[in-house]
Amino acid sequence: MKKVFVLGAGTSRDFGFPSGIELMKEIHSSWEHPDEIAINNYVNIMEKLKKEFRSHPNRIAVEKIKKLSYRFYLSGADSDFLSQCKDEVDLQFGRLTILNAILKKEQKTKQFGDGTLFKWEENWLRVLFGEEFRFENVEQLKKKLETEQFYFVIFNYDRCVEHFLYTAIQNYYDLKGEDTKDIINKMRFYHVYGQLAPLEWQPEGNPIRFGDAFEGVFDDLYRFVPNIKIVNEDRGDVEDIRHKIGAQIRDAGKVYILGFGFQDPNWKLLGIDEYKKHRANGLPWSAGKFHYTNFGLSKRRREHIRGKLFGLISNGTDSARSYDSTVYEFMHHDYT
């Protein structure tokens, strides 16, 4: 059986990562009062893109960054703001700001203690590991992964999920790196909006280790800027993304949508609307296939998700099971 996990910002928030709106507030604040690193980054991007500037590039950079901050605050937008930036320098600077912000969060959560990635209390990743990947010996895990598939659709830039699972498997079973790679690479991790960079054990090139520090090293970070995609950005591959994710969801026995905000651009990327069309043509729809958390959402929003996004199956029951709980509470009490 295949299990698909659709993971929104709420799944990383337990580990100190910001929600979408919190990240935007942090970015706005850093632009409102740009520090030396931000100013140097902006100047370097201007030089990379061969933009002309007068004799005081730092002063120009401060003016440009503060103007960006002003526009951002008054735009009424959040994570989609950068998609409307006509100046390529502003766009690349915005991507680099996001990259830096997430890297700093990864550095912090790599430490030991409360609120970090491996914390003891209220850690949904520990529950997931215990439910799915912890056995008496590693051979039992290998056997399970031969018959069951795990596909993670991640709407966050950070690499918390894959780093946790790799590290937990390696340390629980006392494995060497190569043996851990062979196991973890049987799972699939897909970042819808890109990620900072691959981790060192992933097959893609140009990795960044989880928690590495790159503060102030412009060239080391700038090469990863294209990895960061933006909501509503004209990417040219939206249909491919929808079909890719939709195919995984259609083939899954269980789909868990956790910490997800259900905004239209993100919802449409899941391809569930297409799945519903297939259902109308005779594809079976089980009430036990879709499970989602709706913690913190308004009553009206929940009704919209229940009735309009998922709908009802033929006998009048909900086509998906909702849980008014945090991601940890769902994993601890209701995950099956």
| pLDDT for res 162 | 97
Rounded Cα distance between 85 and 81, Å, is: 7
Structural domain includes residue 38: yes
Structural domain includes residue 118: no
**Residue 305 CA, distance from chain mean position:** 21
Which amino acid is it at 292?
A: Y
Rounded Cα distance between 4 and 184, Å, is: 15
The two three-digit tokens of residue 233, written as one number: 């950005």
| pLDDT for res 138 | 98
| pLDDT for res 219 | 86
Domain boundary among 47, 74, 109: 109
Structural domain includes residue 291: yes
SS (H, E, C) 98-164: HHHHHHHHHHHHCCCCCCCCCCCCCCHHHHHHHHHCCCCCHHHHHHHHHHCEEEEEECCCCCHHHHH
Select from 5, 11, 41 the least CA-distant residue to 328.
Answer: 11
| pLDDT for res 316 | 61
Residue labelled with tokens 């498997």: 169
Which H/E stretch holds residue 3? strand 2-7
Rounded Cα distance between 205 and 308, Å, is: 41
Give the residue ranges of DSSP H helices in 9-111: 10-13, 20-32, 36-48, 57-74, 88-109
Q: Which domain holds residue 68?
A: 20-109
Which H/E stretch holds residue 240? helix 238-251
Structural domain includes residue 172: no
User: Which portions of the chain are predicted below pLDDT 70?
Assistant: 52-55, 78, 215-216, 232-236, 278-287, 312-316
Which of left, alpha, beta for 104 (phi over 0: left; psi -120 to 50: alpha)?
A: alpha
Rounded Cα distance between 270 and 246, Å, is: 6
Domain boundary among 80, 109, 138: 109
| pLDDT for res 323 | 95
Q: Counting beta carbons within 10 angstroms of the beta carbon of residue 62, is it exposed (0 to 12), middle (13 to 18) or buried (19 or more)?
A: middle
Which H/E stretch holds residue 254? strand 254-258
Rounded Cα distance between 248 and 270, Å, is: 9
β-strand pairing of 254-258 with 320-323: unpaired
* DSSP track, 315-332: TSSBSEEEE-S-HHHHHH
Q: How many domains does the chain have?
A: 2
Classify 201 as helix, strand or coil.
Answer: coil
* DSSP track, 255-281: EEEES----HHHHHHTTHHHHHHHHHT
Q: Cβ neighbours of residue 170 under 8 Å, at least 6 residues apart?
A: 177, 180
Domain boundary among 90, 109, 128: 109
Structural domain includes residue 224: no
The two three-digit tokens of residue 56, written as one number: 């005081």
Q: Are 185 and 134 in contact (CB under 8 A)?
A: no
| pLDDT for res 327 | 96
Structural domain includes residue 132: no
